[in-house]
Structure 1
Amino acid sequence: MFKVLVVDDEQWNRDIIKSLGRWGELEMEIVGEAEDGLEAIKLIEHLNPDLIITDMRMPGAGGEQLMRSIHERYPDKKIIVVSGYDDFNYAKQAIRYKAVDYLLKPIDPQELNTVLQKCKEALQQRIERQEIDLELSAKLAAYKKRLGSYFHEMNMEGIRKVFLELHADDLLEASLKPEFIRYYVQELLLFLNELCVANVLSVPLDHLVDHAEVPNSFHQAVDFMSGCYLAAMEELIKQRKFKNKLNLAEVKLYLERHYAEPVSLEQLAKLFFVSKEYLSKSFKQEYDCTVTDYLLQLRMEKSMEWLTLDEEISIKRIAEMAGYEDVSYFHRVFKKHFGVSPGDARKASQGLKMSNEKV
């Protein structure tokens, strides 16, 4: 049911509106009444109505002030103005603040219900758009997750596969207007920039992306994005594959940015085009610890930081953030590393904070 608020300083005027509307048939319900604009704003904050029906001339805060507040703070809400004055200035204010209609008293029942039907259709369309937006956002998130995974693995075929699926995505093609196409292209290009930074790709993104305007056609836009991702991937492969020697600082930086992911020595060696034996030996000689030990150290340091800085984060969530799906295993690793359990570490931190506060 769509919620309606009626605003008029006269009780009998509010009663007339309540009696004339075909509320049930229009899937609407009057949830509140107000005598002036200030009371109406309070009720809007509390009741969150979809539609406000308001008089213009009221003691205190009138209809113009109310419409201005709604326009500034709740632009998605629908407004119907009902007035006893055929005043051009009032009508102009109603237009300025995007009221659905301006009805004169005495109210014509048919005219009122026609406007209510118009509001209902607009509200339904808004809900449908929101549902589509949510579905599109979920789809985009799923595509980004796969693109990120393939990019980190330097899987060129995987990236091509994602963009082929984007080409065939009927929902995206049907739903995306030109302005939305531009938005999603920008989102995916920003994500590509994040991937380049995370993979220590030294060539800036603007060197890889053609500065031509983003196409308005869905399929052309997909081709445009595909070209950007594949160009970046080729640059990353070339940068790692054809270096004279392994850059251990890049390996270390990669681990610092991907410690929460399931990074193995084999995967790391493949990403930097060396054997795992050579990578392991070189890393140990340079940093006096193994790749596995360094990854564990990163995870434990971050876990301790989250435990002590934010008491609202659950230990299970901290385990997941540090790359551990099994919270019991996380507890064992944490206790072995620090000598105390995560819970005890948090309690000790809280006790220290309370002691410092007393001092």
Structure 2
Amino acid sequence: MFKVLIADDEYDIRQGLKQIIDWYEEGFVIVGVAEDGEEALELYERERPNLLITDIRMPGLNGLELARCVKEREPDAFIIILSGYDDFAYAKQAIQYGISSYLLKPVDEDELRGVLSKVKRALQAQWSSSYEQRKKDKWVHDYFFRKLVHGESIQKDIAETMKLQTLLERHYFRVLLVELDHYGEMLLELPESEIHLFRFAVRNILEDIVKTFSIGFVFEESEQRYGILLVGEDRQLSHASIEPLLRQIVDFTQVYAKMRVYVGTGMTVGHSQVIVRSYDKAKSALEQTFFQPEIQIYHGEAVQDFVPAWSLSWDAEKLKEAVKSGDHTNWEYGIESLFRELEDRSAPLGTIRNAIVYAILQLSRLVLAQEGDWNKLYRERCGNEDWMAKLKNHEDAKKKLLLLCEDVSKFILKTRETPPDVEIASVVQYVRCHYWEDINLKKIAGMFYISSGYLGQLFKKETGKYYNDFINGIRVEEAKRMLRDPKLSIADIAEKVGYKNTNHFYLHFKNDTGISPGDYRKQPS
């Protein structure tokens, strides 16, 4: 999102420009409105907009003089001149000052959009070029601060090259971590150039804020996260003192970059060698987005360093019993209790994941006790990916666990009830159609969510045969048909009907027909 400053001495024109188009939709945000040149210049120096739109004729400092002053400060500044006069002399002077565009009043909506589109493309190209250059310039800077906050050793020559050796001799430090929300979605939806621009914009905003407060250094901690090392006196780094800075980080990134961020704060430390403790606290603070994503600012002091999963008072056995008995109310209450305790104890993300794994383990035991296919049931609900590694908030985790409870409860209920005739008929039909595959009673039971022991009974009742006798009978009948084809060897036929071992095929064929496959082939058709 690019910043715009409007300057015009007519109130109606100022208001009209604000409302004539949807500036957000065009990729711009208005950061200031001035009624004369002097006020505009003051606002320009404070807000540093990407684009200035100014009337030519204003009292005091007119538009052309304002443009000249701005260009002296920033030669690459983008400026659009407005005028009620189609005057070549004005246009010529405007070109001389390097004005980006010259629009006549009253401003045409489509013409303004067209000019803004050109300016936006030029700004994006400028930012892309600047990004690549700054990326090179910032590498050593970011490397130094990453090593510093991670508690890793720093080569003296790097610190001296950056003239930051004196920084290490200061007494008080505090780490802030600023994380971009929905960065994963950005990677999937936006081209690389736009992602660079968003990140570049956020860093610029952070650097401007820190510069205003004269309190620290911004560095890239990872693609999704920026770090800020605050340096100063103890009182300067207190909660109360840095609160305005924290609020500006959250508000300005939203307004100017249209980007939602989370901020985690570490505690104040008194020596450069223990900055890593502040960093660890800031990192733990950000994990609290799992429970309260709406807050955006999290303080590390409120987070416990370590909460072992075994220390939780939550009763996993009660959840297991509730699912087993089909008690929806109690299993919902059990999961709610688990997450409430994790939140109350400010548990770190590692503990949260361990607790979720333990709850899932109880559910798997219920399925396995009924000889069900737990892997299949779990995959159908959760997929093959490690969904816990991607968890962003507790609501998603609760929803996933509740659905798993529902699936397991339905499976258990299904194993208790006698399946209707059409269902056991479906199982028999499946065996008829897949007899050549490596399928056994346990595998089929898992596929149809029925215990293998109970399925065996139903199979005997439906077909009059035990499962192994039934599938061997189908295989032998199919082998009889294939033996009429002299092109197929007996070994080939054995493999085609589902026997990996030819000797097993001989044995089952003879038990069923009374003769060997070779003798059967010799019989007249």
TM-score normalized by structure 1?
Answer: 0.40
Structure 1 or 2, whichever has the larger Rg, is: 2
